[in-house]
A and B are shown apart, each in its own frame.
Chain A
Amino acid sequence: MSSPRTVLLKVFRYGPDDAAPRYDQFRVPAGPRTTVLDALLAIRRRQDPSLTVRHSCLHGSCGTCGMRVNGREVLACVTRLDGLGDPVVVEPLAGAAVAGDLVVDMEHVYRRLEPVGRPLVRASERAGKNDTKADPGPLLEDLERFEDCIECGLCLSACPVAGDPRFLGPAALAAAERVLEEPRGTDGRAVLGLVDDAHGAWRCHLAFECSAVCPAGVDPGGAIMRLRRRVLADRLPRLVGRYHQEVPS
């Protein structure tokens, strides 16, 4: 029972000079802690050094190792082989240009995020409840922390609409919702203009695949619903105001 288990990985392979992609098979040892990324790096080290994969932090905070495992978008570094069955199919994210094997060009994520201009940091949670009467004083003023989104692109890969490059997409819409919620000096009107567009918040088909695959708890689908309410709340007084001007009582 405790002898080292192995798992067969069927890995998507493609190079810029290849006529068509193919799937290569590798058998890898799988311990209880072994992640998909561990397995891919072990393949690189011991079986095929030409396999290319993006990675950086190894703990789900950089968003670099997004890929599809058995058809589902995941971060390979926090996805353990245990429970994935045998074989395990590993493919690059969908809707992005494949630079090689599992490496995709992340430009399509950042091209959408940049116009929204969401800062990387947000106001942090205040200290929680406590029983002391001591005054924390200036040490707790303006606490900041990073936004939750790690820009991994899993939501764009999973979204049934984001294949259209004109669609702003779940990550950028969720970022827009954060900007409107906490502007931090950014131009809310410009962001609202991006959102209130046929390729903005209204393009979403409510599949909520984005929220299902998000590894950082951002819930882009929920953010898009809140954006729609915000856009309507912004529009309604203007529409009503125009009505009152055109139809004098």
Chain B
Amino acid sequence: MDAPHVIVVGGGGTGGALAHDLVLRGLRVTLVERGELTSGTTGRHHGLLHSGARYAVNDPESAVECIAENRILRRIAPGSFEENGGLFVALTDEDMDYRHSFLAGCAACGIPTQELNAAEALAVEPGLTPALKAAVWVPDATMDAMRLPLRFFATAQRNGAQLRPFTEVTGLLTAGRAVTGVTLRDNLTGAEAELAADLVVNATGPWCERLAAMAGATVPVQPSPGVLLALVGRLCNLVVNRLHRAGDGDIVVPQRRLSIVGTSAWTVEDPDDLDVPDEHVQAMYREGAKLVPAVASAAERAAWSAARPLIGAIGGAGGGGGRELSRTFKCFDHAVTDGVEGFVTITGGKATTLRAMAEATADLVCAKLGVDAPCRTHEVVLAPHTAYFTGRAA
């Protein structure tokens, strides 16, 4: 008897981690992605492995997820992180007041901290503005936005998952209101095909409403883009954050010989059509330079936009550009929410929590398919990212 077949739609970090999780649990998995793997939101983030500190005060659920996954990812993906640490930097009296709730929030969420005075912080990170008042060290790190997910893809592929980039879902196969498979177009050849499945998972991030609509289902997701700015030069060695409520341009992430300043937030309807407003780029320069003065005169390598999939009430709460929405993830069983069997959506979340998102989704998928197999992804060390490319032919 064949194991159940699951189609994962979406080749971002979540889809990769999910394919890895499901094949480990003994299911047959086909993952389809309309372009190259990680070509949507996943590849575009600033490369921060969150400690969770950024969310410790206002979004403790996300903060707890982040620190747990931060620890697990360092264990299962050794050698995939710039082991640099992060600083939250206070510049004003208001920031100094916020420090108390920040430290309390981190403690409540189990995020280790170390307080530094201005001189200590400058010794650790000379790129900081000398005008800082104090800083707090946290276990942030830099990740490679493409190569960390590729390790999940490489391992899934090695364990038998069929990974099909440049393969676009053009429709869903249905029986009554149940989803029974997908129709596909191979974007390299133009060939069309049908593929049957026992269950289809929608892991398309900010595009998830579009796929859900094909099934007659809805997902309360708001695509919320942000602008990021890559500057030439390693202007700091540690991740530098502003010690205040999360806002625009308040993080500088060093990566190789670049420094990434992020980010802004607004909301859009179509995540394929993102512009890069010049005033947002200028805001990144202005706010980033408050933390790391060398930002002001650094040459621009690139400025781009990436769409987050934020979970919120549809049509609601738009004014804050999505900052007030939680960064946690949610798994939707559309049999429960819309009366559509055979169809599950995973969305929201962060690059840092890709494995946890996959675990929650795989738990639901296995429960629905009657598969009794525990999650093992927290203990399986991942294959190197290179194995994705060298293992394709096999």
Contacts and interface: CB of A to CB of B under 8 A. Distances in A.
A90 B335 CA distance: 47
Interface stretch (B217-225, B299-307, B311-319): B299-307
A15 B189 contact: yes
B366 interface: no
Contact of B44 (A57, A119, A145): A57
B119 A55 contact: no
Contact of B237 (A52, A110, A111, A124): A124
Interface in A100-145: 100-101, 103, 105-107, 109-111, 113-114, 119-121, 124-125, 127-130, 132-137, 139-140, 142-145
B389 A146 contact: no
A58 B36 contact: no
Contacts of A129: 126
Contacts of A105: 392
B92 interface: no
Interface stretch (B74-82, B97-105, B193-201): B74-82
**Listed residue (A15, A56, A136) with the most chain B CB atoms within 10 angstroms of its CB:** A56
Contacts of A107: 389-390, 392-393
Contacts of A53: 35
A119 B371 CA distance: 38
Contacts of A61: 47, 144-145, 230, 255-256, 258
A100 B190 CA distance: 10
A60 interface: yes
A99 B117 CA distance: 55
A217 B256 CA distance: 10
A47 interface: no
Contacts of B137: 139
B123 A130 contact: yes
Interface in B242-267: 254-258, 260
Interface residues of B, number: 64
B128 to A, nearest CB: 10
A96 B75 CA distance: 35
A226 interface: no
Contacts of A150: 256
B389 A58 contact: no
B192 interface: no
B189 A217 contact: no
A33 B276 contact: yes
Given A111-B390, A143-B237, A216 B257 contact: yes
Given A59-B304, A145-B254, 10 more contacts: A33-B276, A45-B272, A60-B302, A62-B38, A107-B392, A130-B122, A133-B119, A136-B123, A139-B137, A216-B256
Interface of B: 35-39, 42-44, 47, 79-85, 114, 117, 119-120, 122-127, 137, 142, 144-147, 166, 187-190, 228, 230, 234, 237, 254-258, 260, 272-273, 276, 278, 301-304, 306, 384-387, 389-390, 392-393
Which 10 residue pairs of A and B lie closest in terms of their CB atoms, listed nearest first?
A56-B43, A100-B188, A59-B302, A59-B230, A58-B304, A110-B389, A130-B126, A134-B123, A144-B83, A134-B119
Interface of A: 15-17, 33, 35, 45, 50, 52-62, 64, 77-78, 99-101, 103, 105-107, 109-111, 113-114, 119-121, 124-125, 127-130, 132-137, 139-140, 142-148, 150, 216-217
